[in-house]
Structure 1
Amino acid sequence: MRQVVEWHPAVTEAVGRLNAREQQIAVAEAGYLPQIEGGIGTGYNNIGEPAGDPEPTFPHRR
């Protein structure tokens, strides 16, 4: 009986529609999740000079 249900075109179509809706829901829910962005820099600007202070700076304590 299970093979007949899995083979029937109407059942296969319904399962496909269900899977598509689940994917649409997942995409919609992803819009509410936190987004993470990042990148890697070379430490040089576009004219070949070092960008910023190459050494780390720390707060001065008195």
Structure 2
Amino acid sequence: MQWRKSSFSGGADDQHCVELGRLTPEVGIGVRDSKDPDGGHLALTVGEFAALLTRIKRTTSP
């Protein structure tokens, strides 16, 4: 699987870096800590991933 690092990673505050990977169509999206690539990943359906993004945007907006 090919992992893609978040565009927000690598800045001044590089403590919270994630990578995303496309899993099988049945599973959806994999999310892992880019600083610990061998530590496993969270598997989310496309719907769960969309809900996660919505919640993140809601809680980080001014």
Q: Rg larger in 1 or in 2? A: 1
Structure whose residues are more often helix by fraction: 1
Structure whose residues are more often strand by fraction: 2
**TM-score exceeds 0.5:** no
